[in-house]
Amino acid sequence: MLVRDITEVRRRDRALITKDATIREIHHRVKNNLQTVAALLRLQARRVSMPEARVALEESVRRVASIALVHETLSMSSDEAVEFDGIVDRVASAATEVAATESTVGMRRKGSFGVLPAEIATSLVMVLNELLLNAVEHGFPPPDAEVDQTATATGPVDAPQVVVSAHRFRKQLHVSVSDNGRGLPAEFDAERGGRLGLQIVRALVTGELRGTIELRDGAAGGTEAVLVVPLSRANDRLTA
Ligand SMILES: Nc1ncnc2c1ncn2[C@@H]1O[C@H](COP(=O)(O)OP(=O)(O)OP(=O)(O)O)[C@@H](O)[C@H]1O
Ligand SMILES: [Mg+2]
């Protein structure tokens, strides 16, 4: 009797280990597939001559690559959760590479995201990718860029800097992305304004993440995006 019990326990143990390995393997393959998609888009971007089309394709490359990062991390973890700080730091340093300013944009992370469940991590990495790219692209436009009539006349005086801060409070994750750039355009509509980037952000934040997002002028100039995401199980999409 006892022998059979132990055998059963061992069998279940093994089954669990196999399941774990399978899930990790799937994440690994998803990551590889996403990298292939990114590579295909990059190839296509090199072939098109229209500058606008090229920029759009390059943006897609970054979007797909940021999701691949999460799956890569998931493929190395033993459960469906990820240590998010490392992911943010990688997405942030990738964003600085697109900076068009002469002086490099400084990136800093304040506080910690901690360990996040996979569902939250996948959406959040896309949201942060968009906010970081916006801060770098629009906060610190290249000197020769077409001057936005509505933007503040004075350019950035301090060294360009983007700060991502995160802390947990009452089962909520509070995140902000702030830059000391030239600020939002005067006619910017905080509720509806924006093109694809902010549409992705709003759709993910209110849909998948069930949180809130606010874009406003920073206290000391520049722009600040404030994000609140519930972490409690009660807000999971089980009821959706
Ligand atoms: N950090 C920021 N500083 C200044 N302006 C910003 C900032 N973030 C957003 N904006 C303004 O909001 C607009 C909309 O942003 P959104 O990300 O939706 O579109 P986009 O960046 O122009 O294009 P894309 O779809 O490629 O992201 C920007 O064009 C810019 O004028
Ligand atoms: Mg954008």
Per-residue model confidence as pLDDT tens digits over 115-173: 999 889 989 998 999 999 999 989 988 776 555 544 455 554 678 999 999 999 999 99
Among 129, 198, 224, 227, which is best to mutate for testing ligand 1, by the most ligand atoms less than 8 A from CB?
A: 198
* Per-residue tokens: 211: 């949180």
Would you state the pLDDT for residue 76? 85
Beta strand pairing status for 172-179 and 81-83? unpaired
178 Cβ inside 6 Å of ligand 1: no
Kindly give the distance from the C-alpha atom of residue 12 to the centroid of ligand 1, in angstroms, as a whole number: 51
Rounded to an integer, what distance in angstroms lies between the CA atom of residue 138 and that of residue 130? 11
Total count of domains within the chain: 2
CA 173 to chain centre: 14
Same domain membership, residue 65 and residue 89? no
Q: What domain range includes position 44?
A: 1-78
Rounded to an integer, what distance in angstroms lies between the CA atom of residue 209 and that of residue 54? 31
Which of 19, 47, 78 terminates a domain? The answer is 78
Which one has a higher pLDDT value, 194 or 21? 21
Rounded to an integer, what distance in angstroms lies between the CA atom of residue 81 and that of residue 40? 29
Per-residue model confidence as pLDDT tens digits over 96-117: 877 655 668 899 999 999 999 9
Same domain membership, residue 70 and residue 93? no
Query: If we measure between CA atoms, which residue out of 163, 168, 165, 167 comes closest to residue 179?
Result: 163
Same domain membership, residue 184 and residue 194? yes
Would you state the pLDDT for residue 42? 94
Would you state the pLDDT for residue 179? 96
Confirm if 137 and 197 have CB atoms less than 8 A apart.
no
